[in-house]
């Protein structure tokens, strides 16, 4: 069997076997994370969580309009609003 990687380099059964052996030995997580690049920038001091909320149609409309007016994303508007609300209480 021969398959192609993203680089279009052909790999054969021996390559697959070598990759499988490497995976079975395990990976050093810290080393893998050091090589990791790209993706979204970090928020705050730790790993960000994703939270889900339900918005009624009018609130969603207002949120979209505010984000457009501020030339930013809906997520930024939500984080700012939540932060201001929590600091005010």
Torsion region of 3: left, alpha or beta (phi above 0 gives left; psi -120 to 50 gives alpha):
beta
Q: What mean pLDDT is predicted for residues 42-70?
A: 90
Model confidence pLDDT, tens digit, residues 24-38: 888 887 777 776 666
DSSP assignment of 8-19 equals --EE-HHHHHHH
Q: Is-contact 21 9, C-beta < 8 A?
A: no
- Mean of the per-residue pLDDT values of the chain: 84
pTM value? Answer: 0.53
Strand ranges, E, within the chain: 3-4, 10-11
For the record, the structure tokens of 75 come out as 């997520």
């Amino acid at each position: 069997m021969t398959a192609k990687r993203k680089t279009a380099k052909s790999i054969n059964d021996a390559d697959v076997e070598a990759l499988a052996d490497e995976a079975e030995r395990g990976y050093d997580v810290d080393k893998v994370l050091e090589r990791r690049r790209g993706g979204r920038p970090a928020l705050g001091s730790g790993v960000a969580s994703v939270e889900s909320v339900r918005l009624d149609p009018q609130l969603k409309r207002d949120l979209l309009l505010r984000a457009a007016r501020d030339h930013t994303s809906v997520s930024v508007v939500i984080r700012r609003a939540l932060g201001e609300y929590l600091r005010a209480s």
